[in-house]
Amino acid sequence: MTQSASETTVEPSDAQRMAHRKRTKLGARVKRRIAGRIIVAAAVLLLVACGYAAWLMFRADQIKTSLESALVLLPTIQEQLMSGEGEAARQTLTELQKHTSVARVAATDPVWRGASLVPVAGGNFSAVTEVAVSADDIVNLAIGPLVGGASSVDWSGLMPTEGKIDLAALQQSSASLSSARNTVQLSYDRLSAVDTSELLPEVSQPLEQVTAALDTASDALDGASAAAEVLPPMLGAEGPRNHLLLIQNSAEVRATGGIPGALAVIHTDDGEIELTAQGSASELGRFDPTVVVDPAQIEIYSTRMGRFMQSVNLTPDFPTAAQTAAKMWEQHHKGPAIDGVLALDPLALANILKATGPVELRFQEPEVGDLVASSGLPTSLTAENVVPTLLSDVYAAIEEPSLQDAYFAAVAAQVFEALTSGDGESAGLVQSLIKSADEGRLYAWSAHSNEQAIIASTGMAGKVTGAEAGGATFGAYFNDGTGAKMDFYVRRTVQLKRSCTEDGYLQYTLMITLTNTAPLDAAELLPDYVTGGGDFGVPPGTVQTNVVGYGPDQSQLQTARVNGEPAPIGSYRHGDRPVAVVTTRLPPAQSATVEVDFSNVVQTSDPVLDVTPTIQPIDDVVLPLQGGAACS
């Protein structure tokens, strides 16, 4: 039987089988070669990656170790700078420069720079680079000029000696401080521009801490640089000057601190400082007609602002208060023009006394000396006893207001003498003034526009409208409505709460709690001069306060509540800022919480809260912000 073609099986020849085996072996060899090359390439890449990673880890450890070492030295060099230890500061600066240089080199080498280009993770490397570069810039361009060579700041030269300040030393420090200020500000701008939203917490948290520290340092250097620039002319470098000093009495609160009870005129000429006149607000009496004041502020705070020296600072705007006080002094005394106004409170005096040491009081009026001797009032004022003495004890010991004024005048004269004679150490004095300015206890105003423009950029200006009060700035201020000295017994806290409205705008609630800590029998226990004796319609022992709340520019005032219940509210505008006035009345041992709502807040920056300085530490008064982040 014959088979079909499809059923025929063709066996490969031996030659074909051999050729196939050769091709199979060749393919296997090729595959093995390719696989080997891939393995080698992978191994090389792995080794490179490992090396790259190891190098980055090495650099990261260098950066971390170097910056941590630098941070440890910062408090040391700060203390050496303030205490005038020039040689020690230069040695510390050298160590700092070594550490920050290592960190900068590590964070800017090509491998690290390359890592910063990697999507997502690269932002962490870039952020570390910014920190390292900023740290090195600050050490060399900010701290360096403050320490090294002829341009260093000699704090001892800024201290008065025998009634005179060396203006040359003060002017010499200006360039160093200006350089430091500019460097810190540029570094702050650079770091604050880094988007931290996608960074690892290990990177973002230290970055935010460094940025916040730079912000604080920038504010301090702004003030120091401005002071070095403006103080020479204010001290008479360009001719004699006369400055009115207001000593605010926090026992009767006003928006900037307290009533300007004790007054003095400080005359300066070529660095020489002299106390040429003293007085009290009560001596000036009532001004008819009133001194001209901004009508918008008169509407909020009444004509009393232009009628009584005790009321010039019902407004929290210190330039307004200062100009009004200067006009009143000039009108009453018919003397030389006032070139500037300074204001401080008893806690600022306490800060000064920490630097100068105790002062012994001498009294020109024998009657005052006899009262002090018989009453147990201290004849030596210290940083510890000055506040209770001036704000409470003196009223119990001396009932006659004119003799109280004489006591306050003696205090002012002796503290001024200690300050200008060079008592104490210069670094402590500088620190005490910086602390007082930071807490809003030290204000300055100049009648010379070029000098005032410099002051306006600092916290000592106390200006509440215009560019200086821009951003999400809020204010909580207090004015006594009792007509007495009961604010020594009032304790306060202030807090902001942030939320979002339905239309996507930010809304803030300003929450203020006041507590009258006076004894329950204050009406019988305390002098009428302290309680008011009911003369102004407020029962003795009770404290009446006009609480003033300011919102940011262009925001809207909504409602107010006291202890959760709707409350009457005075609604005004100061410039572009909404102003609320709510009155509280507190018997002894009673508290009240005032809430004021501000809506349509367009500013997205972190809020700033300004408050009236009182006898409490500012950190005890201002509480942390409540609420979430910006609205979506």
Would 26 be classed as within a structural domain? no
Task: Tell me which residue range forms the domain holding 163.
Answer: 64-234
Residues 434 and 471 in one domain: no
CB 103 within 8 A of CB 63: yes
Average pLDDT over residues 535-545: 96
Cα–Cα distances in Å, from 469 out to 223, 596, 606, 608? 16, 19, 13, 9
Q: Last residue of some domain: 417, 450, 483? A: 450
- 49-79 pLDDT tens trace: 565 677 677 877 888 888 888 878 878 887 7
Domain co-membership, 195 together with 257? no
For the cut 50, the answer to whether the pLDDT of residue 493 exceeds it is yes
Domain shared by 424 and 479, yes or no: no
For residue 383, give both structure tokens. 């940083």
- Which of 23-27, 310-314, 501-505, 600-604 has the lowest average pLDDT? 23-27
> How many other CB atoms are found less than 10 A from the CB of residue 76?
15
276 with 423, same domain?
A: yes
pLDDT for position 202: 72
Query: Do 303 and 432 belong together in one domain?
Result: yes
Tokens of 384: 């510890």
Q: Give domain status of residue 498, yes or no.
A: yes
Q: Which of 234, 267, 294 is the last residue of a domain?
A: 234
Task: Work out the mean pLDDT of the chain and round it to a whole number.
Answer: 85
Domain boundary among 234, 254, 273: 234
Q: Are residues 252 and 229 in the same domain?
A: no
Q: Pick the closest to residue 219 from 183, 179, 171, 181 (CA basis).
A: 181
Is 601 part of a structural domain of the chain?
Answer: yes
Q: How far apart (Å, rounded) are the C-alpha atoms in residues 94 and 98?
A: 6
* pLDDT one-digit tens code per residue, 279-310: 999 999 999 999 999 999 999 999 999 999 99
626 within domain boundaries: no
225 with 250, same domain?
no
Residue 587 included in any domain? yes
User: Is there a domain that residue 34 lies in?
Assistant: no
Greater confidence (293 vs 207) lies with: 293
Residue-wise pLDDT tens digits, 395-445: 988 888 888 888 888 888 888 888 888 777 766 777 788 889 889 999 999
What does the alpha-carbon distance between residue 587 and residue 518 come to, in Å, rounded to a whole number? 8
Decide if pLDDT at 5 tops 60: no
pLDDT of amino acid 604 = 85
CATH for 567 = 2.60.40
Secondary structure string (H, E, C) spanning 89-103: HHHHHHHHHHHHHHH
Mean pLDDT is lowest, of 126-140, 214-228, 455-469, for 214-228
Of 593, 580, 595, nearest in space to 497 by CA = 595
Q: In the structure, what pLDDT confidence band is assigned to residue 26 with cuts at 50, 70 and 90?
A: low
Cβ proximity of 557 and 596 under 8 Å: yes
Strands of 570-574's sheet in order across: 570-574, 577-586, 543-550, 473-480, 608-611
510 and 442 inside one domain: no
Question: Is 294 found in the same domain as 367?
Answer: yes
pLDDT in tens, 103-134: 889 889 888 788 788 787 778 888 888 888 88
* pLDDT at residue 403, rounded to an integer: 87
| Domain assignment present for 93 | yes
In a domain, 563, yes or no: yes
Residue 151: the pLDDT is: 47
Tell whether 476 and 416 lie within a shared domain: no
Q: Quick one: which of 483, 583, 590, 488 has its CA closest to 533?
A: 483
User: Domain total for the chain?
Assistant: 3
Question: Taking Cα atoms as reference points, which of 45, 107, 39 lies closest to residue 70?
Answer: 107
pLDDT band at 464 (very low <50, low <70, confident <90, very high): very high
Judgement on whether residues 170 and 68 belong to the same structural domain of the protein: yes
* CATH number for the domain harbouring residue 328: 3.40.630
* Structural contact between residues 112 and 77, judged by C-beta atoms closer than 8 angstroms: no
- List the single range of 130-139, 146-155, 338-347, 561-570 with lowest mean pLDDT: 146-155
Contact in structure between 104 and 132 (CB atoms under 8 Å): yes
Same domain membership, residue 432 and residue 498: no
